Amino acid sequence: MNDHTRGSSSDDIIDVEPAPFAVSPERDAGLKSIGHFSYFLHTVVAIGAVLPGVQASVALLLLAFIVDVLKRDDARGGWQESHFRWRIHSVLWAGGLYLLTAPLWLLLLVPGWIAWACVSLWFLYRIVRGWLNLNANRPMPA
């Protein structure tokens, strides 16, 4: 054994390296705050997409997406890594589905509203499920 790992007396130095992707409690709390912020913005966009006159800006969705993409590496190896992945995938799918159904608004108003309502309900389900798990300090499923 070398001098750094012997541990035979109280004066010996034990050289223990933290896990390569350990997340400190302070960083964990900061990431959780980012998660609350992101889930809140997602909620505003999803609800605003179906309420007349309350159309939320696409900028809110992009802001949440950019924050999640920029901060996801900070969560790598921790339980919140799955939340960043969950939110990023949710935004990509919801954004794609909103874009795909947008022409229905121009061609046929009622089917367009129904399509957007379905996308928004699915998006809200993902938001609520993620937010509940974030509050309970549980990771999201793969």
pLDDT at 120: 87
Q: What is the pLDDT of residues 26-77, one digit of tens each?
A: 888 999 999 999 999 999 888 887 776 666 677 888 999 999 999 999 999 9
- Averaged over 6-34, what is the pLDDT? 64
| pLDDT above 80 for 12 | no
Higher pLDDT, 46 or 79: 79
pLDDT given at position 52: 67
pLDDT-derived band of residue 20, with 50, 70 and 90 as boundaries? very low
Q: What is the pTM of this model?
A: 0.76
**Half-sphere exposure for 2 (CA within 13 Å, toward CB):** 4
